[in-house]
Chains A and B, each alone.
Chain A
Amino acid sequence: MINITEAAGQYITHLLADEERQGLALRLAIAGQRPGGFQYKLGFVREDERAADDVVIDAGGFRVIIDAESAPNLQGATLDFVETPEQSGFRIHNPKTQWTDPKAIAIQKLLDEHINPAVADHGGYVTLLDVKDDIAYVALGGGCQGCGMADVTLKQGIEALITEEVPGIQQVVDSTDHASGTNPYYQPAKGGESPFA
């Protein structure tokens, strides 16, 4: 299913040795797609936080849980751990880089060719997370994440274009965690304006 390098395995084992992480498993998921490939989410979860259709891999010393939707797109991927003087962290090498759903492919094309070039001028980017039925789920990153006008960009721009150009898509939903952003979302307006008089 996936390969785990020795460096990654050792570091995960090291993290799991921490008392607070005893008995946890590693969950790996595809969180969306940007130009150049998928985005991933990696974290520890309790073993009982596992869906019936999750794929579970015994990595020797710990388990890796992958949700059923991510699993086909992670086939053959390698999880590595990189440590240099400049940075340290996990890296995923994945031979698969593209969506398979035709609606997702069409939306990704709009994002790559029209939406992201325009949003990039404002320091942001839009990631397609998923397409389910007639709804596309996206996340707004960079300057968009946490921006008070992200909803305007979403509803008046992204959704307007996608629903017009991609048959079968009726709605675009923002799944961004805006509280993790760095833009001045929820900050007071000019002059110290705040929610209350």
Chain B
Amino acid sequence: MQRLLLLMTTTTYRAQAFLDAARRLDIPVTVGSERSQALAAVNPVGHLTLDFSSPAEATRTIVEFAKAYSIDGVVAADDDGVILAAMASSALGLPHNPVEAVAAARNKYRMRQILSETGILCPRFWRFPIDDDPVAMARRVEYPCVIKPLSLSASRGVIRVDDPGQFVAAYHRLVAILQRPDVAISPRRSAQEILVERFIPGSEVALEGLLTHGQLRVLALFDKPDPLDGPFFEETIYVTPSRLSAAVQDQIASCTAEVTSALGLQHGPVHAELRVNEHGPWPLEIAPRSIGGLCSRTLRFGDELSLEELLLRHALGLETEILERERLAAGVMMIPIPKAGILRQVTGQENAKQVGGIEDIRITIPLGQEVVPLPEGSRYLGFIFARDSTPAGVELALREAHRRLTFVITPTEARPAQGEHVSPSTLGADRLPLLEH
């Protein structure tokens, strides 16, 4: 029987989706993670502790493991595992992306360099050491531009600026973000650098694709109907299929294929973000992984297959070409954080679920935790999922469901003290305090 190695760190959103997919495929799984698992002793073949920060060492561990338990596919659930997946696949003789291609795709500056050398649309860009003089930097760049840290992902720390004054202010804000205790400063050189690039006006799309021996297959193209013009770039709504013209969609697919080819990516999932304007598609980022968070729930293929199931099938060399995305339109809203503070209460969920087309609402930040909006933060309050006959219907449903939700966020310093008496006025309607025996 085939066995799959699933690489995921302990902060993944996607363990359930991938494990459910493996169960449906009836494929035994070994989970490779950076920490030892609580019940590893119960099922030692099912767990492998790996040092993701040392992929060469982790690859040796995987190869040793594979001598006893044959591994037929390696899949990284998230960005953290893509380098290790490439190295391990190479060592095991499995189809994979070249390690240098994966490394280039994960480095915004290297990717910009490659794009600029190939003639693919690419904004002017500059790289600076983080300790450079911001006033001097501000004089060198062109406006409007976007300042972003090389070491962070998502839109964290990404700020649009329109003049030198804004640039210097944004620079100081970015330095403060990089000094936050929750931002692990990597010893990598890129952690100490910032990238500045000309702002690209236009609408934004996300392409979900699958590479097979260098050939790109588009699995889905998502429109992002909310404008992303800055100063911060918070993702909100993704809707597929795209409402762009067939010709533009073809251009986006061709552009993505050109970029993957230029980077040298060969095999596995691709998640691409592009801007589209009168000049054509501008690739922003091409990641050798699938769509993140819980957003893969928007995608279903063939007979109700999840994206994760499709990816596992692909990794194992099983048939995937005949599996087309469903005909219904689907979408997700990543619920933005409206203000900083402590998330105290979320109301209106049942009412929001009554909106036609809404399939589920998942609040993913626990009550009582601090919430931080962009650019300092990097999380969303949760996800709203919808399906409908048309993309417009999906978008409408997502917006209406979001309108029905209320988030109570209090200032951070208002956290009640431990053991403080709970007054009747602060008790929820459905839960009373029960003491342990």
Contact = CB atoms under 8 A, between A and B. Distances in A.
A73 to B, nearest CB: 15
Given A157-B46, A195-B13, A197-B153, A149 B184 contact: no
Interface stretch (A63-71, A98-106, A186-194): A186-194
Given A118-B42, A180-B367, A196-B292, A191 B151 contact: yes
B434 A91 contact: yes
B47 interface: yes
Interface in A31-83: 36-37, 40-45, 82
A24 interface: yes
Interface string A4-30: 000000000011001011001000000
Contacts of A184: 10-11
Given A20-B429, A179-B366, A196-B235, A157 B40 contact: yes
A156 B31 contact: yes
B421 A88 contact: yes
B430 A89 contact: no
Contacts, number: 214
Given A18-B425, A43-B429, A196-B235, A119 B39 contact: yes
A109 interface: no
Contact of B379 (A20, A190, A194): A194
A86 interface: yes
Interface in B395-430: 419, 421-422, 424-425, 427-430
Contacts of B379: 186-188, 194
A118 B15 contact: no
A42 B183 contact: no
Interface in B32-73: 33, 35, 37-43, 46-47
A187 B8 CA distance: 14
A42 B15 contact: no
B378 A188 contact: yes
A141 to B, nearest CB: 12
Nearest to B233: A196
B152 interface: yes
Contacts of A18: 424-425
Contact of A156 (B13, B37, B364): B37
A57 B413 CA distance: 43
Contacts of A179: 362-367, 382
A180 B151 contact: no
B419 A87 contact: yes
Taking each of A82, A151, A160, which has the highest tally of chain B beta carbons within 10 Å of its own beta carbon?
A: A151
A150 interface: yes
Closest 10 CB pairs of A and B: A157-B39, A195-B293, A195-B292, A194-B154, A89-B433, A156-B46, A151-B15, A192-B152, A186-B364, A151-B16
